[in-house]
Amino acid sequence: MKRRVRFFIATMFFIIASCAVITVNIYFPEKDVKEAYKTLEKELMAPEEKPVKQPAGKPESSIRFDLVATAYAQEAGLAEKIAEIVKKMPDVVNAYREMGARIADTDKLRDSGALGEAKDGMLVPREKTLSPADKRILDAENADRRTVIKGMARAIIRINRVPENEQNLRQVMPQATEEFASIRRDSAKKGWWIQTPEGNWIRK
């Protein structure tokens, strides 16, 4: 009788253990993620510039050389690796390009107080009813921002070398969102509406 009870308990324990969800702790390098976001915005949102031809026989300034060397030195490391992974995601690159193309429109709406930077990294209406055209700008911008944030989450999962599944995405997305929103608050211009992490709205 005792053997049957023990066997039953052992069997139940095995079944429960086999059904349990295994949670993987994913390393999230906050500082490097923030730097990667900044690098990606600088490289992908800015309009493409044509290279300036140097006059024949005139070497580049040594000062220019020093600045370029310093920039590469600062980008080296994990932040650069994260940015490189993201740049291999066509949907995310396109989202950055689209955000850069409409930045004059979003700035105009933020300048007027019509839109504010929410704590979840999205733009939200603030002081007036949006026109259909402005609503299209808002919707397109937020769709691109979601793509960018999810792309960063996917990059973090890849550098951790864990499965890129929904469970791991759900674990990383809040942190990827938080760092993106932090940059939006830091880069906001004077007079723009921003929402603090606590949920309070203030004008910068």
Q: pLDDT of 82-98, one tens digit each? A: 999 999 999 999 999 99
**Cβ-defined contacts of 85-92 (< 8 Å, 24+):** 85/155, 85/158, 85/159, 86/36, 86/40, 86/151, 86/152, 86/155, 87/40, 87/43, 87/44, 89/151, 89/154, 89/155, 91/147, 91/151, 92/147, 92/148, 92/150, 92/151
Whether 173 is in a domain gets the answer yes
**15, part of any domain:** no
Residues 153-197 have pLDDT tens digits of 999 999 999 999 999 999 999 999 999 999 999 999 999 999 999
Flag whether pLDDT at 61 surpasses 70.
Answer: no
Q: What is the mean pLDDT of the chain?
A: 83
Residue 81 within a domain: yes
pTM over 0.85: no
For residue 91, which phi and psi values (nearest 5 degrees)?
-65, -35
How far apart CA 145 and CA 129 sit, in angstroms, is 22
**18 within domain boundaries:** no
Domain extent at residue 66: 25-47+61-203
Is 124 strand, coil or helix? strand
Total count of domains within the chain? 1
Kindly indicate the confidence band of residue 57, based on its pLDDT and cuts at 50, 70 and 90.
very low
